[in-house]
Structure 1
Amino acid sequence: MTRVERPPLTADERTQLIGWLDLQRSFVRMKCTGLSAEDAHRKVLPTSPLMTPAGLVAHLRWVEYTWFQMGIAGVPDTGQTPWTEDGHVDAEMFVDDVPIAQLLDEYDEECRRSNATIADLSLDVVERGRPAEEAASLRFALCHMIEETARHVGHLDIIRELIDGVKGYTEPE
């Protein structure tokens, strides 16, 4: 995903929500640009060893999938998710053997699929397969995904600075 601009200041709600989410999504690839294979999997936080650039990209891909495909679109989980009831809660982050380029491509594809899935849906549509009192609206899912993605972009920003000193929101040279 190439970096996108902020949404227009006076755009409608849908344009604002998807625009802000797309902007945060674009920062994920930007923060990983130029990382070596070793650095993409480097564990720089001793108390959070799964929080590597590669692990965060993999996590964000699965969060996109669970909210927009499984939740909003109602796609059943047929075992394609990396976690199970008896598995590790962060199993999607076990990606030491997966190249960062592959993870970024899968993330970008999932983001495109998310946008296509929700393109014609009302922001008031709610998750499928949940009791009505527990189902979130698409509006909620978009707000949550902006928060989730931005939070992890912040993690990527700090991790990248710890790895090689690259900081900020410009493409590394």
Structure 2
Amino acid sequence: MTEVQRPPLSADERTQLTGWLDLQRSFVRMKCTGLSEEDAHRKVLPTSPLMTPAGLVAHLRWVEYSWFQLNVMGVPDTGQTPWTEGGHVDAEMFVDDVPIAQLLDEYDAECARSNASIADLPLDALEKGKYAARGEAASLRYVLCHMIEETARHVGHLDIIRELIDGATGYTKLE
């Protein structure tokens, strides 16, 4: 894992937004480094059994896909997502049988695809997909801000879960 630095203090808006998102994304792998398969799938929150490191990584992968591919780019969902009509609302988090390394690789690949998809879009570009937030199209700027919030919130969950599993804390590389 290459350590990602904070964006420059005086960078342009796009560099700031994508830089903060990439920083939060890098913490996802960092918080999972060194976990055994058992610990990656360990249910430490009795009232939230899907909140495992593996479940959170899978969730973040599909959130990336949903916001950037389905919403921003307007790619049609042809059944590749884990969600089905009438299915469980958190279906993407049912990953007890999926190795954490695979989930992290899929997440990293999705993040790279997200970045490539939006590289040439202006921040004012509006969502093209039918899944637009609240019935109106959001700008790419909004989506980037939302994804910073979404990813950072779940990195906080990963931080707490990791501490409950083995006592590891902070944002240094865990080995």
Provide, for residues 81-135 of structure 1, a one-character-per-residue CA deviation record: whole Å limited to 9, x for no partner.
1011210000000000000000000000000000000000001111113479611
Q: Deviations 1:58-90 (Å, cap 9, x if unpaired)?
A: 000000000001111110000111011210000
Match of 2:103 in 1: 103
* Equivalent in the alignment of 1:167: 169
| Matches for 1:64-103 after TM superposition, within 5 Å | 64-103=64-103
Name the structure 2 match of 1:60: 60
Runs of 4+ in 1 over 6 A off after TM superposition: none
Confirm or deny: 8 A CA contact 2:72 2:129 kept in the other structure. no
Find the partner of 1:150 among 149, 152, 172. 152
Report the alpha carbon displacement of residue 172 of structure 1 after superposing the two structures with TM: 1.7
3-state secondary structure, aligned to 2:57: helix
Query: Could you say which residue in structure 1 is the equivalent of 2:138?
Result: 136
Normalising by structure 1, what TM-score?
0.97
1-side partners of 2:126 and 2:51: how far apart? 31
Structure 2 unmatched runs, 5+: none
Report SS of the residue matched to 1:168: coil
1:10 Cα deviation from its structure 2 partner: 0.3
Name the counterpart of 1:28. 28
Separation in structure 1 between the aligned mates of residue 84 and residue 124 of structure 2, nearest angstrom: 30
TM-score (norm 2): 0.96
| AA at the equivalent of 2:159 | D
Structure 1 SS opposite 2:85: coil
SS in 2 for 1:97: coil
Name the aligned partner's letter for residue 71 of structure 2.
G
Distance (whole Å) between structure 1 residues aligned to residue 117 and residue 88 of structure 2: 28
Provide the rounded CA distance (Å) in 2 between the counterparts of 1:152 and 1:15: 22
Distance 2:127 2:81 in 1: 18
Residue 126 of structure 2: SS of its match in structure 1? coil
RMSD value, Cα: 1.3
User: Which whole-Å CA distance do the structure 2 matches of 1:59 and 1:3 have between them?
Assistant: 22
Q: Identity over the aligned pairs, expressed in percent?
A: 84
Counterpart Cα distance in 1 of 2:167 and 2:129: 45
Q: What does 1:14-25 correspond to in 2, within 5 Å?
A: 14-25=14-25
